[in-house]
A and B are shown apart, each in its own frame.
Chain A
Amino acid sequence: MNVSDETLPTAADTGDVPKSASYYGRPIVKPHVWKPYIAWYFWIGGAAGAASVECVCARMRGADALATVEKRAALAGVLVAPVLLIADLGVPSRFINMLRVFKLTSPMNLGSWILTAFGGAIGASTFAELLGWKRTSRALEVVAAGLGPALTVYTAVLIADTATPVWHEAGDTLPFVFAASGVASAGAVGVAFAPSQQNGSARRLMIGGAIGLLAAGATMEKRLGPLLGEPYRTGTGGSFRATSGALSAAGIVVGLLGHKNRTASRLAAACVAAACVLERFAVSAAGKQSAQDPKYTIEPQRARLNARRDLDLESSG
C-alpha cells in the first residue's frame, strides 16, 4: 500500500472546506500499472505499422531500396514488440491467453490479433523473399500494409478506453497523435537508412509527420481544456512533452535546411524519432498524473452531472 504524504488533507492546514471535496486527496481511479516497456511498444508498434504502408508506397514507385528499409524496420518492430508486451505481463508464461478469445469490446484483445496477423504477414513476406518467391512476398507486403494503420492507431483506442481522465477525454484526438508519430518515425527510418537518391518521400513523411505530431498534440491539449490539459504542462508529463516538441521542431528545421547533407539528415531523423518516443512517454506520464489527483476525475464528472441536471430542469420547466 502506498502512503504518500504529499496529498494529506488541505483542510486541516487551512481550516477551510477544500475547493473540491475529496477523500484525503486520494486518487479515485487507479493509475495504469504498465512499465516503460509499454510506452516503447506504443512507439515501435506504431512505427512498424506506418513503415509497412510506406514500404508498399515505395515499392509502387520502384524505390525498392527504400521499400526494403521500411520492410526491415517493420520486421524488426514485430520481433521486438511481443518481447516488450510479454515482459510487462504479471504472468508472462500466460501470454498466449491473449488469443484464447476474440473480443470486440477489448481493444487490447483486438490489438493482439492485429499484431499477430501483421507479424505473420511481414514474417511470411520476408521468408518468401528469402525463398525467391517475389510475387508472394509482394502480396504479403500489401496484406501487412492493410493491417499496418490499424496497428498504429489501435493503441490510442486502447488507452482512451479507460477511466484515466486525460486519455478518455482525448479519445477523438489521440489516434491522430499516434498516427502522426508513426508516420514521422517511419519517415525517419527511411531518411536514416535508405540511399539518399530514394529517400525523398521518406523525408517528406518525416517532416510532415513531425508537423502533424506538433499540431495533433496541440489540438489534443487545447480540447482537453485548462484543467485536463494540466498534466501535459506540469510534472513528468509536461517535461516529456516539452522536450518532444523541441526535438520535433529541431528535426523539422535540420531536416529542411540540411536535406543535401547526409549527416544533417540523419541528425534530423534522430531528433524526430526521439520526439516520437518522448510523445509516447508524455502520454503515459500524463495519464498517470491525471489518475493520481482526484480533481481530474471529480471536476469533469461534477460538471457533467450539473449540466444534466440543468437540462432536466429546462425540459421539465
Chain B
Amino acid sequence: MSDIYDETAAEREMATYPAGESRKGFFTDTTLCIGCKACEVACKEWNQLPADGYAFTGNSYDNTGELNGSTWRHVAFVEQLRGGATAPSPPPQQSKSQSQAQSQGTASGDHQVLRADAGRWLMESDVCKHCTHAACLDVCPTGALVRTEFGTVLVQQDVCNGCGYCVPACPFGVIDKRDYDGHAGKCTLCYDRLQDGETPACAKACPTESIQYGDVEELRTRADARLAKLQREGQYTDASLYLRDTGDGIGGAGAFFLLLDKPEVYGLPPDPFDTTRDLGRLWRHAGYAALALVGVTALAALGTRR
C-alpha cells in the first residue's frame, strides 16, 4: 500500500539474500501443464506425507482441493467452455453416427460439440510461494519458521508448537496445521534434496517441464523470455507472470507462475501482501487504544465520590 514499501522491496530482498548464496525456486509454466498430478504424487512419496482420502469434489479433475499441512502440491483444473460455463455439461447421449458426425466438426442436436475452439482447460500446479517477505515467517512466535541458505521458507518440525498463527497469516492459504501431529506443514522445496544438490521431487517428476527448478534469478530471465515468446507467437496473448515482480506486496516470490487468466481464477489472490508491512501502523493504533484505556480508567476514578 505504501509507496516506500514498494520502492524498497527489491533492496530489501537483496539484503535478505547475501551475495554468494543463490536463491532457489520454481517457475511453474501453466501452458505446459497437462494435469497429470505426478508432482502431487512425487511430493507425497518423497516427503512421506499421508494420503488425503478418497474425497470427490465434483470440481473437474481436482479431487485434491487445496494445499494444506500434508498436501504441498495441488493441481488446479479450470474448465472454460464456450458460453462462459466453467463446468462441462453432462455428456450427451449419442449414437455412433452422431459422434462420427461431431468428430467431423458438424454440430447436431441441442448439445454443444467440443471442438478445438470450444473452450480450454487451464491447469496449474500450485505450491508454497517461498515469499521474499513471508508473513508466516514474520509472525511465527517460536522461530520455527526460518529462511534457509537456499532462500526458501522452512518449518522446523522439532521447534513448531502448533500455535496456528501462520495459518491465517499466509496470503495464499498455503501453510496449515495438521491434525495428526499438531505441527504446521508446507512445502520445504525438498530441503533435504537441495542439501545434496538434487532437484525437488515435484520438478524431477514433472514430465512436461511445467515445473522448472533452479536459481531464482535465472528462472526470472527464463520466464521473461517465455512470456515474450508466447506474446510474439500470438497464441497466448493473455499470458502474464504472477509473483515474478519484486515490487509486489510480498517482494516477489521464490516460486512464481506463468498464468493464462486472472490469478483468482486459479484460486490465487490478485494482490497478495505480507501483513507485516502494516505492523507499525497496527501497533500505533494499539498504542492509542492503550492510552485511551488508561485515560478512561483514571478519569472514572478522579475527583469523584468513591
Which residue in chain A gives the minimum CB-CB distance to B292? A179
**B84–A29 CB distance below 8 A:** no
Contact with A along B264-295 (1 / 0, CB 8 A): 11111111110110110111011111111110
For the complex, give the distance between the alpha carbons of A1 and B176 in Å: 11
**B143–A15 CB distance below 8 A:** no
Q: Which residues of A contact B275 (CB under 8 A)?
A: 160-163, 168
Q: Which residues of B contact A222 (CB under 8 A)?
A: none
Q: Which residues of B contact A249 (CB under 8 A)?
A: none
CB of A153 closer than 8 Å to a CB of B: yes
Which residue in chain B gives the minimum CB-CB distance to A187? B300
CB of B95 closer than 8 Å to a CB of A: no
Q: Which residues of A contact B276 (CB under 8 A)?
A: 105, 161
Contact with B along A203-222 (1 / 0, CB 8 A): 01100110010000000000
Residue from A23, A98, A105, A294 within 8 A of B142 (CB atoms):
A98
B43 to chain A, nearest CB (A): 15
**A101–B59 CB distance below 8 A:** no
A176 to chain B, nearest CB (A): 5
Q: Give the interface size class of chain A.
A: 35 or more
A69 to chain B, nearest CB (A): 13
**A3–B56 CB distance below 8 A:** yes
CB of A76 closer than 8 Å to a CB of B: no
CB of B138 closer than 8 Å to a CB of A: yes
Among B34-42, B100-108, B158-166, B188-196, the stretch in contact with A: B158-166
Majority-rule SS of B interface residues: loop
Given A168-B275, A201-B300: A30 touches B161 (CB 8 Å cut-off): no
CB of B116 closer than 8 Å to a CB of A: no
**A204–B300 CB distance below 8 A:** yes
For the complex, give the distance between the alpha carbons of A167 and B171 in Å: 13
Majority-rule SS of A interface residues: helix
CB of B68 closer than 8 Å to a CB of A: yes
CB of B15 closer than 8 Å to a CB of A: no
For the complex, give the distance between the alpha carbons of A276 and B1 in Å: 33
**B164–A34 CB distance below 8 A:** yes
Q: Which residues of B contact A178 (CB under 8 A)?
A: 289
For the complex, give the distance between the alpha carbons of A101 and B137 in Å: 13
Among A4-12, A133-141, A240-248, the stretch in contact with B: A4-12
CB of B57 closer than 8 Å to a CB of A: yes
**B301–A21 CB distance below 8 A:** no
**B168–A149 CB distance below 8 A:** no
Interface of chain A residues 287 through 313 with chain B (CB within 8 A): 287, 291, 294, 297-298, 301-302, 304-305
Contact with A along B49-74 (1 / 0, CB 8 A): 00011011111001011101001000
**A32–B167 CB distance below 8 A:** yes
Among B24-32, B177-185, B198-206, B234-242, the stretch in contact with A: B177-185
**A15–B173 CB distance below 8 A:** no
| B66, B172, B176, B290: most-surrounded residue (chain A CB, <10 A) | B290
**A16–B84 CB distance below 8 A:** yes
CB of B260 closer than 8 Å to a CB of A: no
Which residue in chain A gives the minimum CB-CB distance to B301? A57
Among A89-97, A229-237, A254-262, the stretch in contact with B: A89-97
CB of B78 closer than 8 Å to a CB of A: yes
**B282–A171 CB distance below 8 A:** yes
Q: Give the interface size class of chain B.
A: 35 or more
CB of A82 closer than 8 Å to a CB of B: no
Residue from B1, B168, B290 within 8 A of A162 (CB atoms):
B168
For the complex, give the distance between the alpha carbons of A212 and B135 in Å: 32
Q: Which residues of A contact B183 (CB under 8 A)?
A: 90-91
**A90–B164 CB distance below 8 A:** yes
Contact with B along A173-187 (1 / 0, CB 8 A): 101101100110011
Among A107-115, A122-130, A266-274, the stretch in contact with B: A107-115
**B286–A157 CB distance below 8 A:** yes
**A29–B172 CB distance below 8 A:** yes
**A161–B65 CB distance below 8 A:** no
Which residue in chain A gives the minimum CB-CB distance to B264? A298
For the complex, give the distance between the alpha carbons of A297 and B206 in Å: 31
| B53, B138, B176, B283: most-surrounded residue (chain A CB, <10 A) | B283
CB of A119 closer than 8 Å to a CB of B: no
**B266–A108 CB distance below 8 A:** no
**B264–A23 CB distance below 8 A:** yes
Residue from B71, B138, B140, B306 within 8 A of A201 (CB atoms):
B306
Residue from A15, A54, A112, A176 within 8 A of B85 (CB atoms):
A15
Q: Which B residues have a C-beta under 8 Å from some C-beta of A? A: 1, 52-53, 55-59, 62, 64-66, 68, 71, 76, 78, 83-87, 135, 138-144, 159-165, 167-173, 175-178, 181-184, 261-262, 264-273, 275-276, 278-279, 281-283, 285-294, 296-298, 300-301, 304-306
Instruction: Pick 25 A–B contacts, CB within 8 A, sort by A.
Output: A1-B52, A1-B65, A15-B84, A17-B86, A23-B76, A23-B266, A27-B173, A28-B172, A29-B269, A32-B168, A33-B176, A57-B300, A106-B139, A109-B142, A149-B294, A152-B293, A156-B286, A157-B282, A161-B169, A163-B170, A163-B273, A179-B290, A201-B304, A205-B296, A208-B300
With A89-B163, A159-B168 given, name 17 new contacts (CB 8 A): A11-B86, A24-B62, A24-B86, A33-B167, A88-B164, A89-B162, A105-B138, A107-B279, A108-B141, A108-B163, A111-B141, A152-B293, A160-B282, A171-B278, A178-B289, A183-B293, A187-B300
Top 3 A-B residue pairs of the complex, sorted by shortest distance between their CB atoms: A90-B162, A90-B182, A23-B267
